[in-house]
Structure 1
């Protein structure tokens, strides 16, 4: 989907993507996103919000969590927390690379 949107935006710089917002909070998109996050190698590590994806159990708890995220997105009260960055050494080199430590959850604007 991201590749298609990028291609369309390049082809027509004036194009508006009004339906993208509906896709972002669609349950199927959220489920696929959750599967990617939960299946990631870093799922056992807590983010800046001190929650790890692995700490959210399967089944009902995931459905409830995704439902809360969906409601925050739909109501436009979702506010992402900043990603914490650390510099870590590159493998086989003396150079450093940036590592972003994101969050699992977000907070709502009152």
Structure 2
């Protein structure tokens, strides 16, 4: 199954690609804040579901996320990523 990437995300990916090709030694240290962009999170969830991905660090399945509410779950994930707390409570001893 192939999913169409939203145009805004495609443009972002293209800019990263062009920069990486133009400057092979450039390090993308400032990308963390892009992880929790709403469009990136929504697209990541769509792709993970399409690929039938396994539960992550939090151990939640797609069925559990759907039951909880995808938008609610994504908003909480976004907040945890912004606060750099994601995975800390779910992964004791990591």
TM-score calculated relative to the size of structure 1: 0.52
| Larger relative contact order (CA 8 Å, sep ≥ 6) | 2
What does residue 107 of structure 1 align with?
90
Tell me the C-alpha RMSD between the 2 structures: 3.3
More strand by share: 1
What does residue 33 of structure 1 align with?
44
More helix by share: 2
Pick the structure with greater CA Rg: 1
Report if aligned partners of 2:35, 2:41 keep a CA contact under 8 Å in 1. yes
Q: Which runs of 5+ in 1 are unaligned?
A: 81-105
Question: Aligned ranges for residues 62-101 of structure 1 at < 5 Å?
Answer: 62-79=70-87
Deviation at 1:4, TM superposition (A): 4.7
Q: Which runs of 5+ in 2 are unaligned?
A: 1-11
Deviation at 1:47, TM superposition (A): 5.5
What does residue 55 of structure 1 align with?
64
Listed one character per residue, the Cα deviations across residues 48-98 of structure 1 (whole Å, up to 9, x for unaligned) are: 75421133227x711111011111110111237xxxxxxxxxxxxxxxxxx
